[in-house]
Structure 1
Amino acid sequence: MDPKKYQLFINGKSYDTRGLDLAFNPHNGNVLGKVVLVSESLLHEKAKDDMEDTVRIPLEEFCRE
């Protein structure tokens, strides 16, 4: 899977590329039910400014086939 296909939102900021590796690394992402929580401090790219408000990432978006 190409992580660039997925969008990661944290505290209302959008990150285009790091969603998959953060979600699948147990040291970086915490899975609570169907939500993946990732700390913004773990990201190495700048957020976009004009994005929706959300802190939830549906786990189905990151499931491997």
Structure 2
Amino acid sequence: MLIEADKTQRESGIATWHVILNPSVLAAVQRSPLGEASGHGHMFFNLEQTLAAWQASYPETGG
């Protein structure tokens, strides 16, 4: 279900960011089809890391 939603959003130009993943959950997601589809660049341990990556990805928004 999440894999299908992620794919639909990507096809619509919407990025999914996975936030506050503890190490064991992060490892499991990275090995899953969802992790393969999302890519490692959108999975983070905390909100601060996520925000920094988002700002670097979208500098035109004032990040």
TM over 0.5: no
| Alignment TM class, shorter chain as reference | under 0.3
TM (norm. structure 2) is 0.26
* Structure with greater helix share of residues: 2
* Structure with greater strand share of residues: 1
TM (norm. structure 1) is 0.25
Higher relative contact order (CA 8 A, sep 6+): 1
